[in-house]
A = this chain, B = another copy of it.
Amino acid sequence: MATGRPTIADVAREAGVSPSTASVVFSGKAPVADATRRRVRAASDRLGYTGPDPRAASLRRGRSGVVGVVFEERLGAAFLDPVKTLMMDGLAEGVAPLGAGLLLLRDEVPASTSEPAPPAEPALSLETALVDAVVLVGASGRLAASLEILRARGIPVVVIEGDAGAGIPRIDLDNLDAQRQAAEHLRRLGHEHVAIVTLPWSGRRRRGLVAASREDDPSIDVTRERLRGAREVYPDATVFETAASLIDEGWEAGAALLRAVNPPTAVIAQSDLLAAGVIRAAEECGLRVPQDLSVTGFDGIALDGFAPYELTTLAQPAAAKGRAAADAVVRMLSGEDAASVRFSCAFRHGNTSGLRPRLD
Contacts and interface: CB of A to CB of B under 8 A. Distances in A.
The 4 closest A-B pairs by CB, nearest first: A247-B305, A76-B89, A99-B121, A54-B130
A82 B247 CA distance: 14
23 contacts: A28-B117, A50-B153, A51-B128, A51-B153, A55-B64, A56-B59, A58-B58, A59-B59, A66-B103, A66-B124, A66-B130, A99-B122, A99-B123, A100-B124, A102-B103, A102-B104, A104-B104, A246-B304, A247-B304, A251-B305, A251-B307, A277-B305, A280-B307
Contact of A101 (B124, B152, B247, B277): B124
Nearest to A88: B75
Residue from the set A28, A51, A101, A118 with the largest chain B CB neighbour count within 10 Å: A101
B304 A248 contact: yes
A75 B92 contact: yes
Interface string A97-112: 1111111111000000
A24 interface: no
A85 interface: yes
A256 interface: no
Interface in A230-289: 246-248, 250-251, 273, 276-277, 280
A58 B121 CA distance: 13
A65 to B, nearest CB: 5
Contacts of A129: 54, 65, 101
Contact of A98 (B96, B105, B121, B154): B121
A11 to B, nearest CB: 14
A62 interface: yes
Contacts of A127: 50-51
A118 B51 CA distance: 17
